[in-house]
Amino acid sequence: FTSTRDLRMSCSYAEGLSEYHDKGKLGLPEKFDNQKEIDAKVNLLAEWISKAKHIVVHTGAGISTSAGIPDFRGPKGVWTLEKKGEKPEMNVSWDDAQPTKTHMALAKLVEVDKVKFIVTQNIDGLHLRSGIPRSSIAELHGNMFVDQCDKCHKMFVRDSPAPTVGQKYVGGDCPATRNNGRNCRGKLKDFVLDWEAELPDSDLSLSDTHSMMADLSIVMGSTLQIIPAGNLPTYSKKYQEGGKLVICNLQPTKQDKKADLSIHTYVDDVMEMVMKKLGLEIPEYDKGSDPVRLTRLRQFPGDELFIDWTQDEENAKDLKKIGDLIHDEYLKKRREEKKRKSSLDLLDKGDIKTSKMQKKVEDEVKEEKLDIENGNSENGLLLNTSNAAEEATENGEKSGRSCRKTDAYYCEDEDIDTIGSKPDKGELSVAMQDAYKYEENGDSDDAADNVEEFSSVRSCKKTDSYQFETEIDIGSKKSFSETCYTPSSRNCKKTDSYEFEDEDFS
């Protein structure tokens, strides 16, 4: 246990914490931009500040080094030197440390309502002493100059730094009264969080929602290695369309890849230049309005016996509802975007499939055209329709048939010995014999009537050709130019060919 006297020194704060091995990346090299780069970056930052509607600033130990308080992970930081068995050279007491130019510039930006909220990981109390109101700041890791009641959970400004860290009892009674006028009777603890301690609910809720609402997040003096504080600055890009992230730090940070602008120089120099661009003066630190000094002098507001530093719990709950709505809307947009991408993926797959089908059809058409050009039909025999029609017309063998647009005639299950000439009467059915008899006698009407019975048992199908199939050798293709005798009463439709099935051509 570190003595009270030791803890009054800024470099001894870490000694009061419990042992913790993983302190992050220590002693990373610092980088400095040249003056030309700094001028260009500061001009851009000032422009963004002028246009932004909701600015949230996230501060770390780097903004207090110019006040004589060492940082933790810098080249000369507390934990960097601790690893080497050394201690920092700078070692100002908490009492003697005063707010820096950066602290005072931020207080002015809050006063003129340009900065809406400040989220700090610092426990040095310098934001409190700069005059920033409690409603405008969240102290996620606590404050050396604040006590908290274990019963009513109210917070009170101390006149000196706490003698302990890790939310231990400091030996005082709660000065607040209940609603009935009686004393609270609670006990006071320091408000300095230890490793892995739960963050204060109200401060965390306000930090979450303001970070979600921010269209410009500015990080000053932090490597953003501790979560959740290290992730909050990225919410401006996550939840706000066109939201921006600016990081002002000498060392590389965890979120550099997400930053829209990174400035590598001293934060005090940056704030001096920015305030000048904005036409604002940085106020001087005023001891007369420092809440710590006022508590020491017992100068309390009104009839109170303390300066209240309690976070507004009701305001935090109201803002949390807004934060929940923002988060729900974000999730809704993500679902819609995911659904849209899935639909596009399906369309792309469908286009690929359609293209493959079209190519397949085109290939099949090309193959068919090649087959036709080479004189090979699907069944292996193709008749020249125009030649066959001309020959049939010349020979007068059309026999009154009303068939249009055909490539050939295909007759199945027929037994024809000779296709090029009329068959013998003995080889025909009775109906066909009667038809020939009437035809030879010149009585075509009777022949047609007699054939009608024969035609009723035949069927036509759309095919590429009319082909006579037989079990015997039917000869060369030339034989197909001869007439196929069919009844004139047959009902043929417009098609590429006609196919006769299941007929008894005995």
User: So which residues are the catalytic ones?
Assistant: 141
Strand-pair category, 142-149 with 155-157: antiparallel
Cβ count within 10 A of residue 38: 18
Q: How far apart are CA 288 and CA 296, in angstroms?
A: 11
The answer to whether 119 touches 131, Cβ cutoff 8 Å, is no
Q: How far apart are CA 193 and CA 210, in angstroms?
A: 22
Per-residue tokens: 2: 């570190």
Burial label for 201, CB within 10 Å (0-12, 13-18, 19+), is: middle
Q: How far apart are CA 428 and CA 436, in angstroms?
A: 10
The CA–CA distances, whole Å, from 340 to 104, 155, 237, 343 equal 48, 50, 21, 5
Q: How far apart are CA 252 and CA 264, in angstroms?
A: 9
The answer to whether 212 touches 239, Cβ cutoff 8 Å, is yes
Beta bridge partners of 462: 498
In Å, how far from its chain's centre is CA 314? Answer: 34
Q: How far apart are CA 299 and CA 292, in angstroms?
A: 10
Backbone phi, psi, residue 147, to 5°? -110, 160
Per-residue tokens: 233: 């600055």
Length of the chain: 506
Q: Which helix (H) or strand (E) holds 55?
A: strand 55-59
From start to end of 304-391, where are the E strands? none
Query: Which among 94, 88, 90 has a CA at the least distance from the CA of 76?
Result: 88
Q: How far apart are CA 92 and CA 295, in angstroms?
A: 21
Strand-pair category, 187-192 with 169-173: antiparallel
The CA–CA distances, whole Å, from 250 to 10, 39, 67, 266, 368 equal 21, 16, 17, 7, 75
Q: Which helix (H) or strand (E) holds 170?
A: strand 169-173
Q: Which helix (H) or strand (E) holds 146?
A: strand 142-149
Region class of 396: left (phi > 0), else alpha (psi between -120 and 50), else beta:
left
The answer to whether 73 touches 62, Cβ cutoff 8 Å, is no
Strand-pair category, 216-220 with 244-248: parallel
Backbone phi, psi, residue 468, to 5°? -90, 115
Per-residue tokens: 141: 């890791």
